[in-house]
Structure 1
Amino acid sequence: MAPIYRFFVQPQVNTATKTINGYELLMKEYTPAGWRIPASFLTIDSQIIADLLVATTKILSLKVRYCSVNISRAQLMTTTIADAIIKSQQQLYPTKLVVELTEADSPQKYTVAELLPQLKHFRQQGMQLSLDDVGTGDNYFNEIEDLLPYMSEIKFALQNFQLDLKNPQMQQKLHFWRAISVEYGLRLILEGVEDAADATRSQQLGIKYQQGYYFGKPQLLALPGDHFAN
């Protein structure tokens, strides 16, 4: 039996207005133990990802400003997926599709110069661009500085660190990335907000866009004919 994949949606909240600002699409695989994040996205055929993205965005009627999808740099440079992303934006309009560049491992490393033509093309098609997991892996400031002028958003994931928001070191990191977001005119979304204390401290640090289990766990976005449970 061929693997089955679907997208789950998780809300991104504007805590200042207490409204849902957008949703992130998170891809999962159906297994005997339930839905799980795929062990590796690199092994999934690009056509499968492309077809699923187009089918999912076709049925979306979300009354939100933004809908985000995670794309690795290698996937960004894959024609099949790039074409599907463009078609998805056309289907979602006037909702903005936000392409979140992840730091997923890839056999091939792409330079900023190699990425820029595709990023510029996406922007011309009405999409927005986001950098996921800033401050970790390949997404330290000096590695992404040249990409920031083309971004609309950066995302900082609390779950990538062993520190909580009461820790001065964590607060220093967030102050830094908030300053970067202000300097470049970007939305800063804090991921991994688990409880009311996290949400309150984040607001006190000036971060109004938040995402995490406190606001809602990812929910299955079924396609017509599906009979799956979350």
Structure 2
Amino acid sequence: MIRFWGQPKFSVPTGKLAGYELFLRERPTREGEWHLPADFGAFAVRDFDELLRATLATLPQDLQLVSLNLDQEQFVDPDYVAQLGRWHQSGGPQLIIELTERMGVGANQVTPVRLVEAARIYQEAGLRVCVDDVGTGANQPELVDVLDPVVTEYKYALQNVRGTVNVGVIRAQVAYWSQRAHRQHHQFALEGCEGVADLTLIHDFAPDLVQGYFFGRPHPLTIAADLSI
């Protein structure tokens, strides 16, 4: 069984709920525990799409946006590109595709050219593309340079660096991506805000969107029934 969990995303200028980031979770039985899938590629795109529609049908109608994570292999998968590319035609909140720092489980290297081609198709279909976890994994500045013309948002994940680098380094990295987003006329999102200390980063760098445990933890979203696969 699969279900989307959602973490609220808040608009900094308004202080209001802007939408949710959706996280796919699965469990073996109705009585089992929800957990992160070991292989996201194991799910058919039609199941993913059915679950997405069932989930969004239960969310508030005034949401501005909903975002989905795709690793590099999913991002360029023709089935995802085609199915999600049709999503904008159905109305509802703005759908944002977040390209994560993960390569995917397959052995094939995803070239920057393929990522740009897929991002352009999403963009032409009315979807927005966010480079998630900028500065970590595959999403280094060199790749972002290539993707800049076809993305609209950077997201910096505090949880990826917390405890591994000092506060000064974190501030420098947030400053870099915030200023870069401003120059490129992209939105900037700050993820992983977990305590009062992180509010200083919000105050000093004024991201457009924030999310994290301080504002709301991921939780199971209501749908008519768990989707069995």
**Do 1:29 and 1:36's aligned partners in 2 also have CA atoms closer than 8 Å?**
yes
Residue 194 and residue 176 in structure 1: after superposition, are their counterparts in 2 closer, same or farther (change >3 A)? same
Q: Is the 8 A contact 1:97 1:127 kept in 2?
A: yes
TM-score (norm 1): 0.86
Counterparts of residues 77-88 of structure 1 (less than 5 Å) = 77-88=76-87
Matched, 1:178 2:178: yes
Q: How far has the Cα of 1:154 moved from its partner?
A: 0.8
Contact 1:57 1:88 in 2 (8 A): no
Cα offset, 1:48, TM superposition: 3.0
Cα shift at 1:21 = 1.9
Q: Match of 2:85, as an amino acid?
A: I
Give deviations 1:81-128, integer Å, cap 9, x for gaps. Answer: 22331233223x252110111122332222222222322221121111
**Taking structure 1 as reference, are residues 82 and 124 closer, same or farther at Cα in structure 2, changes over 3 Å only?**
same
1:104 counterpart = 2:108: no
SS of the counterpart of 1:126? coil
Task: Point out where structure 2 has 5 or more consecutive residues left out of the alignment.
Answer: none
Where does 1:43-192 land on structure 2 (aligned, <5 Å)?
43-91=42-90, 93-106=91-104, 107-163=107-163, 167-192=167-192
| Native 8 Å contact 1:53 1:84 kept in 2 | no
Q: What is the Cα deviation at residue 130 of structure 1?
A: 0.4
Return the alpha-carbon distance in structure 1 between the equivalents of residues 116 and 195 of structure 2.
38
Q: Deviations over 1:17-50 (max 9, x none)?
A: 2111221111111255521111231333444323
CA distance in 2, matches of 1:221, 1:16: 26
RMSD across aligned C-alpha pairs, in angstroms?
2.3
Question: Which amino acid is the alignment partner of residue 102 of structure 2?
Answer: A
Asked if 1:6 corresponds to 2:15, the answer is no
**Residue identity in the other structure for 1:26:** F
SS at match of 1:129: strand
Displacement after TM superposition at 1:135 (Å): 0.5
In structure 1, what is the Cα distance between the partners aligned to 2:26 and 2:135? Answer: 28
Q: Give the fraction of aligned pairs with identical amino acids, expressed as a percent.
A: 28
Which segment is superposed worse, 82-91 or 5-14? 82-91
